[in-house]
Amino acid sequence: MKKLTFGLIVALLCAVCTAALCGCADGGAFTAGNKSFDSVKNIDVSVRDREIEITASDDETVHIEYFENDKEYYKIEADENGNLTIKLVSDKKWTDFISVKPDVQYRKLIIKIPAGLGILKVDTTNETVSLSSVATANAILSNNGGDVSFDKLSVDESLDVTVKNGNITGSVTGGWDDFSIISDSKKGKNNLPAEKTGGSKTLKASCNNGDIKVDFLKES
């Protein structure tokens, strides 16, 4: 009886794994989606296991490109006050997590934003966050299990970056004297001081198990 019970359990587990790996419980094929929004003042992005790429928009509109299926889909909403929220919703059952991850192209979220935002807030896990030539008043970036990088990032007031098990690298427009700085890097290298006063802008960088390297691009 014990051997029979054990055999049934093994057979059940094999069936579950086979179904998941074959895509029978993965929510179906991913399809491409895109949305655009005008008059956006603030953006709040909260996702898991998604790469986020943010670049400058060619117009005054926010453009969003993504992939989703029946069990992993985006809830994207803009209110009358100009607050845009982007959230990844997961309706997965425990059997779905046995399957392999979706292809990398389906795990990418692309956002193009115009200059002049009040707050840009981004949070993800286990992937990368990258920003290129983006301008905003305030940027709050966090990642658990991946890197955050930015190139020619312009902030009018503050930049706050928090990373666990990843690196913080990039460049910001403005000189060293333009920023007050607070930084902390555990188990990694850091080219920023732990604390520096002065400056009309604020830069905070915290990294656990990773490096921090931020360059300043002072306009000539």
- Give the domain ranges of the chain: 28-217
Q: Which amino acid is at 217?
A: L
User: How far is the C-alpha of 160 from the C-alpha of 157, rounded, in Å?
Assistant: 10
pLDDT, position 27 = 67
CA dist., res. 50 & res. 96, Å (int): 17
Supply the pLDDT for residue 208: 97
**What is the rounded distance in angstroms from the CA atom of residue 101 to the CA atom of residue 149?**
23
Backbone angles phi, psi at 5, to 5 degrees: -60, -45
> How far is it, in rounded angstroms, from Cα 104 to Cα 50?
9
What pLDDT shows up at residue 64? 98
pLDDT of residue 128: 98
Rg of the chain over Cα atoms, rounded to whole angstroms, equals 21
pLDDT at 12: 45
DSSP one-letter code for 163: E
Per-residue pLDDT of the chain (220 residues; tens, 9 = 90+): 545 455 545 444 444 444 444 333 356 899 999 999 999 999 999 999 999 999 999 999 999 999 999 999 999 999 999 999 999 998 866 445 455 678 999 999 999 999 999 999 999 999 999 999 999 999 999 999 999 999 999 999 999 999 999 999 999 999 999 999 999 999 999 999 999 999 999 999 999 999 999 999 987 6
